[in-house]
């Protein structure tokens, strides 16, 4: 079982189930050209985010961690008619590339990119959101979860990316602050009676990782 195989299977899934998509492909190209890391969600993961939004009939989506707006475009495409998405990004250059990518995808009217540390911009955000996607610095995931709950309503769904970290999530002694962040995130989740959650391990073009999905009761 190897990275090479996981990548090949992701390609197989994308080729069969996801027709060529110039706006998304251009978003990845522009992000790479701008020197941004290739850590966007994979195409199959992006489509899952879109489908979750569609299944929820989402009218309002919040994303924390924009990068070049690849996941943003998928999520915004899942919005119901007239819906709006706000995405939070600390790096002004990432935000600028994201705005261009979002514009090329024809989604500028539906999407707002807010620049600043998410913990600084969150207090001015007004909920409720139907779907909240956490994908910024993993160290702050516990705080992001508190904010997500504050900005949600019963029935809202919170998705958090990169919560398995090659399995390191079970290492209580890990000195990796990202690992400690996702561990505390799950502890907050477990202690929170207003949330029902599961986590799914994944392999694919982005290696071995996973995502957590929580539903607000």
Task: Enumerate binding residues for ligand DHB (CB under 6 A).
Answer: 39, 135, 161-162
CB of 193 to ligand SAH, least distance (A): 28
Q: Residue 141, SS3?
A: helix
Residues 54-113 interacting with ligand SAH (rule: CB under 6 A): 65-67, 70-71, 88-91, 94
- Long-range own/partner contacts, residues 25-28 (CB < 8 A, 24 or more apart): 26/101, 26/104, 27/68, 27/69, 27/70, 27/73, 27/101, 27/104, 27/105, 28/68, 28/70
Taking alpha carbons only, the member of 116, 83, 87, 84 closest to residue 99 is 87
Indicate whether 162 belongs to the interface with ligand SAH (CB under 6 A): no
Taking alpha carbons only, the member of 135, 136, 130 closest to residue 53 is 130
90 binds, among Mg ion, ligand DHB, ligand SAH, none (CB under 5 to 8 A by kind): ligand SAH
156 binds, among ligand SAH, Mg ion, ligand DHB, none (CB under 5 to 8 A by kind): none
Q: Which residue is nearest to ligand DHB (CB)?
A: 39
Indicate whether 145 belongs to the interface with ligand SAH (CB under 6 A): no
Task: Extract the tokens encoding 168.
Answer: 């390191």
CA dihedral over 164, 167, 173, 174, signed as positive or negative = negative
User: Which member of 162, 180, 202, 212 binds Mg ion (CB under 5 A)?
Assistant: 162
Please identify, using beta-carbon distances, which residue of 130 and 135 lies nearer to ligand SAH: 135
Indicate whether 161 belongs to the interface with Mg ion (CB under 5 A): yes
């Amino acid at each position: 079982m190897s990275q090479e195989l996981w990548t090949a299977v992701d390609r197989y899934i994308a080729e069969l189930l996801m027709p060529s998509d110039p706006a998304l492909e251009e978003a990845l190209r522009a992000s790479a050209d701008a020197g941004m890391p290739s850590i966007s969600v994979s195409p199959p993961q992006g489509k899952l985010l879109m489908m979750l939004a569609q299944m929820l009939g989402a009218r309002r989506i919040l994303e924390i961690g924009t990068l070049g707006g690849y996941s943003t475009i998928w999520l915004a495409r899942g919005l119901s008619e007239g819906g709006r998405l706000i995405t939070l990004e600390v790096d002004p250059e990432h935000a600028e590339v994201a705005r261009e990518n979002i514009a090329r995808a024809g989604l500028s009217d539906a999407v707002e990119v807010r620049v600043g540390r998410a913990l600084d911009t969150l207090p001015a955000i007004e909920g409720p959101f139907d779907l909240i996607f956490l994908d910024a610095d993993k160290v702050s995931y516990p705080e992001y979860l508190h904010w997500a709950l504050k900005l949600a309503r019963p029935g809202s769904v919170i998705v958090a990316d990169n919560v398995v970290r090659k399995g390191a999530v079970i290492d209580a002694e890990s000195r990796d602050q990202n690992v400690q962040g996702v561990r505390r995130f799950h502890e907050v989740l477990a202690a929170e009676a207003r949330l029902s959650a599961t986590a799914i391990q994944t392999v694919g073009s982005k290696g071995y990782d996973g995502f957590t999905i929580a539903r607000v009761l």
